[in-house]
Amino acid sequence: MRVEVLPADSWAEAVADAFNDRLGTSGLRICLATGATPIPVYGRLPANALAMSTVFLLDEFGELAIGHPGRCETMLRTALLDRVPAAEFHFPDVDALDLEAECGRYRDLISDGGLDLAVLGLGTNGHLGLNEPGSTADQATRVVELTEETREGARKYGADPPPTWGVAVGLAEIFAAREVWLLVTGSAKADVLAQVVSGPLTDQIPATVLRTHPNAVIWADGNAASLL
Ligand code: PGA
């Protein structure tokens, strides 16, 4: 795992440049996180950046109406895809009657061809996507129950009352990605980032699994990296 620490005031621009370079002109199969962290990066990508790429949504909350601003699909469209359209965009249908079958469909869609790059955020509880503490590296895309901390976090996206469950692309699909980027900013993430980088390898902090990934990069700003 490589750790890139960048000054907070130029972090978004530097990561957006690196992302745009990585996307190149031939396009990638990428899984993208929502949440507050990647928004300034997404906002700096040129309009044609994803024209050749296939985008998979990393996770989705249940219990929110289609189009709700707190829904991850809505967030990714608003923050990125409405302005920077992708060649293809896929997401799990959390309103499907048979959720288990839907998770299987989404998992197969991702696994058949795999991911070139997964761009992730880090929860203050160490989660990756909605893979909450206790998630294991062999778990595939599935319905997950949300922790109180994640539910509280969902409030800042306008989900009130916050959902109790969601669909998470599993650590298995994330770990199988050829490259994983973890974006981490702000002093509120300093403690957990220090755990991810040098604490014990534990399912209780799912992001520690990235330490064993052959090609994982942490893009941290100086505030998040203050305890490294
Ligand atoms: P944030 O969320 O980017 O809004 O801090 C990250 C996460 O909880 O995965």
- Looking at the predicted structure, is the pLDDT value of residue 59 above 90? yes
pLDDT, mean of residues 166-179: 98
Residue 213 domain-assigned?
yes
- Looking at the predicted structure, is the pLDDT value of residue 122 above 90? yes
Residue 226 domain-assigned?
no
Q: Looking at 48-184, list the stretches that DSSP marks H as alpha helix, in order from N- to C-terminal side.
A: 72-76, 99-111, 148-155, 171-176
Residue 128 domain-assigned?
yes
Task: Express as a percent the part of the chain with pLDDT over 70.
Answer: 100
Write down the pLDDT at residue 144.
97
Contacts of 228 (CB under 8 A, 6+ apart): 3, 5, 193, 194, 197, 198, 220
Residue 227 domain-assigned?
no
Taking the C-alpha atoms of residue 192 and residue 122, their distance in angstroms, rounded to an integer, is: 8
pLDDT 10s digits, 186-223: 999 999 999 999 999 999 999 999 999 999 999 999 99
- Looking at the predicted structure, is the pLDDT value of residue 61 above 90? yes
Write down the pLDDT at residue 25.
85
Lowest pLDDT segment from 79-83, 156-160, 208-212: 156-160
Tell the residue nearest (CA) to atom 8 of ligand 1: 123
Q: Looking at the chain, list the stretches that DSSP marks H as alpha helix, in order from N- to C-terminal side.
A: 11-23, 39-42, 72-76, 99-111, 148-155, 171-176, 190-198
Nearest atom within ligand 1 for CA of residue 150: 8
Contacts of 54 (CB under 8 A, 6+ apart): 27, 28, 29, 30, 86, 87, 88, 89, 90
Write down the pLDDT at residue 27.
86
Ligand 1 pocket, residues with Cβ under 6 angstroms: 35-37, 121-123, 127, 153
- Looking at the predicted structure, is the pLDDT value of residue 181 above 90? yes
Taking the C-alpha atoms of residue 73 and residue 71, their distance in angstroms, rounded to an integer, is: 5
Number of domains observed in the structure of the chain: 1
**Is residue 170 a contact partner of residue 203, using CB atoms and an 8 Å limit?**
no
Look up residue 51 and give its DSSP letter. T
Tell the residue nearest (CA) to atom 7 of ligand 1: 123
Residue 50 domain-assigned?
yes
Residue 10 domain-assigned?
yes
Write down the pLDDT at residue 73.
98
Between strands 180-184 and 216-221, the pairing is parallel
pLDDT, mean of residues 61-69: 95
pLDDT 10s digits, 16-30: 999 999 999 888 999
Nearest atom within ligand 1 for CA of residue 34: 3
If you measure from the C-alpha of residue 111 to the centroid of ligand 1, how many angstroms do you get, rounded to a whole number? 24
Between strands 165-168 and 142-145, the pairing is antiparallel
20 classed as catalytic = no
Write down the pLDDT at residue 57.
98
Write down the pLDDT at residue 132.
95
Residue 228 domain-assigned?
no
Gap between the terminal Cα atoms of the chain: 14
**Is residue 41 a contact partner of residue 12, using CB atoms and an 8 Å limit?**
yes
Please enumerate, as own/partner, the contacts of 66-70 that have beta carbons within 8 Å and a separation of 24 or more: 66/95, 68/158, 68/159, 69/157, 69/158, 70/154, 70/157, 70/158, 70/159
What is the domain range of residue 116?
Answer: 2-221
Instruction: Give the CATH number, domain containing residue 13.
Output: 3.40.50.1360
Taking the C-alpha atoms of residue 125 and residue 147, their distance in angstroms, rounded to an integer, is: 9
**Is residue 145 a contact partner of residue 162, using CB atoms and an 8 Å limit?**
no
Backbone angles phi, psi at 215, to 5 degrees: -145, 65
Dig out the tokens for 161 from the structure: 């009352």
pLDDT, mean of residues 81-96: 98
Sequence letter at residue 92? P
Residue 51 domain-assigned?
yes
